[in-house]
Structure 1
Amino acid sequence: MKEQKATADDAQPSSSPASFFSEERIVLIIAIISGFLTPFDGSATNIALPFISGEFHMDAVSLSWVATAYLLASALVIVPFGKIADIHGRKKVFLAGLSIFTLASLLMTMVPSTPALIGMRVIQGAGSGMIFGTAVAILTSVVPKQRRGRALGIYITSVYLGLTLGPPLGGVLTQYFGWRSIFLVNVPIGVAAVLLIIWKLKGEWADCPTERLDRAGSLIYAVGLVAMMYGFSQLPSVTGGALIAVGLVTISAFIWYERRVPTPVLDMRLFVENRVFLFSNLAALINYSATFAVTFLLSLDLQYTKGFTPEHAGLILVAQAFMMMIVSPVAGRLSDRIEPRVVASIGMGCTALGLGLFSLFLTESTPLWSILSILMLLGVGAGLFSSPNTNAIMSSVDRRFYGVASGMNGTMRLLGQMLSMGIASMIFAIVIGRVEIVPALYPQFVISVHDTFILFTILCVVGIYASYARGNTH
C-alpha cells in the first residue's frame, strides 16, 4: 500500500517527480468527474420536481423527501465510511460508492411509485456519501500542502460546474425526454469514472490499517441522525418534536461514548483540541443550512408562481452556480496565500446579504433581472466560502485523520442541506399544510418562501462569526 505517498505533509513526494505528477493529475481528473456527477444529479432533479409531483401526486412535504432521503442516506454513511477508508483504503471505498451511485441511477429510470422513488434515492445517497467521504481525502493525500488550495479549488469548481449545468440540462431533459432521463445521464459518466479508477489509479491510501471500525458508535450515530432529521420533517407535530428530542439525546450519548472508546469512529479530540477544525465545520454547517434549499424554493417559485417552463427556470438558476464556478478556484488560490478565515468570512457575508435581499424583495411580481442579480451575489458568496473553508478543515488535521476530516466536512454539508430542506418543509407544513401545491395556494406558497429566507438570513449572519472565529491556519 502507498500509505506514505504524496501526502500533504510531505515536502517532496516519495516517488519520482514525473510519476508523482502523473498520479496527481489522474487523481484530480477522477475527483473532477465525481465532483461533477452528484451535484449535477441533485440540481437537475430539483428542476424536475414539479413533473415528479405531477406523476406521483405528491404533496409539498413528500416532494421535499426526494432531496431529503438522498441527503439523509449520504449523511448516515459518510463518517463511518470515512473511517473505513482510513482503515482499509480510500480508493476501495470511493470505487464502491461510485459503482453504487451509478447502478442506483440506472434503476431510478424504472421506479413505478413514490415509495420506490424514495427508496432508490436512499441507495443513490449512500453511494454519494461514500464518494464525498473519500474524494477530498484522496486528493489531500496526493497533493502537497503548498498546492492543496489550488487543487481543492479545481475540485470544488467541478462541483459547481455540476450545479451550473444541472438546471439547464435538467430542464431540457425533463421537458423533451421526461424526468427519468436525468438519471440516465449519470450512467455513462459513472461507468467512465469507474473504468478510469480501475485502469489508471494504482495507488491506495490507508493510514490507520491497525485500527478497527467502531460499529457501536456508528449505530448510535445513525439512530440519532435519523431520529433528528425525520423528526424535523414532521414538525410542527408533537411526534416531530419527540423525535428531535430522541435524536438530540442519542447524539449526546454518541459524543459521550466516542470520548471513551480506544478507536472511535469520530475522534472528539478533533473538536475539543482543534479550534480551526471546530469552527470551520460549524461554519460549513451554517452555510449549507442557509443556502441549500434556495434552489429548491426558487425552482418551485419560478415554475409555479411565475409560469416558467423547466427549461427556462433551469437557465435562470444557472446564474448562481456559474458565479460559484468562476469564483471558487480564485478563492482556493487565495487561501494558499492568506488566511482562509478572511476569504471565507467575506463569502459568508455576501451570502447573508443575498438571502436578506430575497427575503425583502422576492414576490410574485419581482422582475427577472432582480432575481438574477441576487443569485449572482449568492454565487460569489458560496464561491468565496467553500474552497477556503475546505482547505482550512483539511489543513488543520494530521494525515491519519484525512478520511474522518473529509467525512466530517461532508457530514456538515449534508446535515446543513438536510436542515435547510427541513426548515423549508416545516414552514410549508405550517403555512400551506400537507397538500399538493395548486394555484389557489400560491399566495401561501409565496409567504412560505419569504419566511424561509428570513430564517436563512439570520442563520448566515451567525455564520459570519463562526467563520471568522476559527483562528489562523497559516
Structure 2
Amino acid sequence: MELILKPGLSTPQRTASARRILASLSLAILLSSLGTSIANVGLPALAQAFNATFQQVQWVVIAYLLAMATLIVSVGRLGDLTGRRRLLLAGILLFTLASILCAIAPTLYWLIAARALQGLGAAMMMSLAMAFVGEVIPKEKTGSAMGLLGSMSAVGTALGPSLGGVLIAGPGWQAIFLINIPLGILVFVLAQRYLPLDRPAAQRPRFDHLGTLSLAFTLAAYALAMTIGRGHWGLLNVVLLLAAACGIGLFVLVEKSAVSPLIRLDLLHNTAAGLAMSALVASVIMATLVVGPFYLSRAFGLSAAHIGLVLSVGPVAAALTGMPAGKITDYLGAQASTLIGLSGMVSGTFLLTLLPVSVGLAGYIAPMVIITSCYALFQTANNTAVMDKIASDQRGMISGLLNLSRNLGLITGASLMGAVFALAAGTNALNTATTEAVAQGLKITFTLASLLIVLALAIAIKDKRSNRAASAQPRTRAG
C-alpha cells in the first residue's frame, strides 16, 4: 500500500503538507488516549446512575481496553491491505458515533457495548496513525514525529481525569462522552482534507480471517485473565490463562500455513526485542497509576483532588518531554536513546523505593518525573527503532503490535503490580492500611519494577550488539 501526495509540490509545500498530516494524526492519537482515561474518573457516577456495583461499572473501562487489545493488530494489518487513509477515517467516524451511543445509553449493558465499539475505533486510530508516520515523514525526522505522537498520547492521558471531573461535576456523566463528538468531527475533517490518498494496488493479498479470530481469542483470554478479580486470582483466571496458551499454539500453526498471514512470523525476529521492552516498561508505568492512589492516600493523607493533581504530574512530564525526546532520538539515534531512557527509568524506580519515606511528598514526585520523562524518551526511541526496520506494506501490522505490547503491559502491570503491592503491604484492605504497610508495599513493588526495567535494559544491550554484529558481517565477508 502506497500513499499519494499531490504532484508538483515544492519542498516548502511538501513540508507544510507533512505538518498538516502530522497535526491530523496527533489529534487522532489525542482523541483515542482521552477516551482511555476520561471514563475512569466517571466510574462512581456511573455506579450511582445505573444502580450498579463497582465491579460491574468497571467493565466500562475493561470493554474499551479489551476491544483495543484484541483487534489493534488486525486493524493495522487491514489498513496495510485495504488502504490506511480510508480505514483511519472509518475509525474516527466509528469512535465518534460510538461516543453518541455511550451518551444516550439507557442501560449499563448498552454503555459497555458502546464502549467496546469506541475501543475498536480507538484501535484503528492508534495503529494507523503511527503507521502513517513512516510514509509521510522523512526518515531523519521520524524521531521527532514519534515524539509528537507520544506527547499527544500523554496529553490525552493527563487531560482525561481532570476534564472528566469538571464535566461530571457540571453537565453530568453523559458529557464525558459528548465531549468526543466535536473533537471527532474536527479530526475527521482534518484527516479527510490532509491525509494523502491511498494508491490502488494491482493485487491485494487476502485478509487472514482465521489468524485474526485465533489471535483475538488468545488476546481476549489473556486480557480477561489479567482483569477479572482485580488481582485476586481464582480458578477462572487459571482457565483463561491456559486458554490463552493454547490460543498461542493455534495461532502459530494457522500463521505457518496461511498464504497471506496476519503476522509474518519471520518479522518478529527483528522486532521481538522492541516489543518485549515495550511490554515490560508499560507494566512499570501502570504500577505508578495502580499503587500511587493508595500510597498517597494512606502515607500522606491526601484528598482525592490532591491525589489527582499529584498523579497528573507524570503524564504532564511525559507530554513536555515528548518533543525533546524526538529531537534527541533524531540526533543520537534510536538505540542510544533507548538505552538512555531505560537507564533513567532504573534510577527513577530505585529512588522511589528510598526517597518518599525520608523526604516526604517531594520524594515521591521527583522520582515520578524522572520515570515518566525517561519513559517518553524510551517510547519515542523504541517506536522509531522498530518502525524503521519494517517495509511499507507491513507498517500497519507492526504499529498494531507495538500498541498491543504496550496495552498488554498495562493490563499485566495493573494485575501483577497491584497484587504485589497488596501482598507486600500484608493486606487486601488497602483503603485502611497503615502508613508503614503501604510504605513497605511501595518499596517492594518498585524494587520489582526496577528489576523489570533492568531486564528491558539487558534486552536493549543484547539487541544493540546483535545489530552491530549483523551490520559488520557483510564487511567481514568482503574483506
**Counterpart pick for 2:127 among 119, 128, 133:** 133
- Name the counterpart of 1:223: 217
- Name the counterpart of 2:415: 422
Distance 1:112 1:371 in 2: 42
Cα pair distance change 1:114/1:313, threshold 3 Å? farther
- Name the counterpart of 1:32: 26
8 Å contact from structure 1 (residues 86, 208) kept in 2? no
Cα pair distance change 1:304/1:205, threshold 3 Å? farther
- Name the counterpart of 2:384: 391
**Which secondary structure state, in structure 2, belongs to the residue aligned with residue 470 of structure 1?**
helix
Give, in angstroms, the shift of residue 191 of structure 1. Answer: 1.2
Distance 2:459 2:63 in 1: 28
TM-score, L = length of structure 1: 0.85
- Name the counterpart of 1:10: none
**Counterpart pick for 1:58 among 35, 50, 53:** 53
Distance 1:189 1:167 in 2: 17
**Which secondary structure state, in structure 2, belongs to the residue aligned with residue 119 of structure 1?**
helix
8 Å contact from structure 1 (residues 72, 418) kept in 2? no
- Name the counterpart of 1:3: 2
2:379 matched to 1:382? Answer: no
Distance 1:109 1:374 in 2: 38
Q: How does 1:23-422 map to 2 (within 5 A)?
A: 23-52=17-46, 56=51, 58-59=53-54, 65-111=59-105, 114-204=108-198, 209-234=203-228, 236-272=233-269, 274=270, 277-299=271-293, 302=296, 308=302, 310-359=304-353, 367-422=360-415
Give, in angstroms, the shift of residue 16 of structure 1. Answer: 2.6
Task: Name the count of aligned residue pairs.
Answer: 461
Distance 2:186 2:67 in 1: 24
8 Å contact from structure 1 (residues 48, 310) kept in 2? no
Cα pair distance change 1:282/1:447, threshold 3 Å? same
Give, in angstroms, the shift of residue 64 of structure 1. Answer: 5.4
8 Å contact from structure 2 (residues 290, 418) kept in 1? no
Distance 2:36 2:149 in 1: 17
Give, in angstroms, the shift of residue 232 of structure 1. Answer: 2.6
Cα pair distance change 1:110/1:468, threshold 3 Å? farther
Give, in angstroms, the shift of residue 425 of structure 1. Answer: 5.7
Give, in angstroms, the shift of residue 423 of structure 1. Answer: 2.1
8 Å contact from structure 1 (residues 171, 313) kept in 2? no
Give, in angstroms, the shift of residue 146 of structure 1. Answer: 1.9
Larger Rg: 2
Give, in angstroms, the shift of residue 324 of structure 1. Answer: 1.1
8 Å contact from structure 2 (residues 227, 411) kept in 1? no
**Which secondary structure state, in structure 2, belongs to the residue aligned with residue 211 of structure 1?**
coil
8 Å contact from structure 2 (residues 88, 125) kept in 1? yes
Cα pair distance change 1:36/1:104, threshold 3 Å? same
Structure 2 residues without counterparts, runs of 5 or longer = 472-479
- Name the counterpart of 2:475: none
Give, in angstroms, the shift of residue 82 of structure 1. Answer: 1.0
TM-score, L = length of structure 2: 0.85
Structure 1 residues without counterparts, runs of 5 or longer = 7-12
**Which secondary structure state, in structure 2, belongs to the residue aligned with residue 236 of structure 1?**
coil
Distance 2:410 2:300 in 1: 25
What is the letter of the counterpart of residue 258 of structure 1?
Answer: E
8 Å contact from structure 2 (residues 144, 327) kept in 1? yes
What is the letter of the counterpart of residue 26 of structure 1?
Answer: R
**Which secondary structure state, in structure 1, belongs to the residue aligned with residue 179 of structure 2?**
helix
Distance 2:116 2:440 in 1: 31
Distance 1:432 1:177 in 2: 39
Q: Which moved more, 1:74-83 or 1:288-297?
A: 288-297
Distance 1:446 1:121 in 2: 36
Distance 2:114 2:303 in 1: 27
Distance 1:465 1:335 in 2: 20
Give, in angstroms, the shift of residue 150 of structure 1. Answer: 1.6
Deviation per CA, 1:170-200, whole angstroms, max 9, x where unpaired? 3333444444432222221111111222344
Give, in angstroms, the shift of residue 368 of structure 1. Answer: 2.8
What is the letter of the counterpart of residue 217 of structure 2?
Answer: V
**Which secondary structure state, in structure 1, belongs to the residue aligned with residue 222 of structure 2?**
helix
Cα pair distance change 1:120/1:305, threshold 3 Å? farther
Distance 1:450 1:113 in 2: 42
Give, in angstroms, the shift of residue 158 of structure 1. Answer: 1.6
Cα pair distance change 1:68/1:462, threshold 3 Å? farther
Cα pair distance change 1:327/1:76, threshold 3 Å? same
RMSD: 3.3
Cα pair distance change 1:300/1:97, threshold 3 Å? farther
Q: Which moved more, 1:147-156 or 1:382-391?
A: 147-156
Q: Identity percentage over the alignment?
A: 26
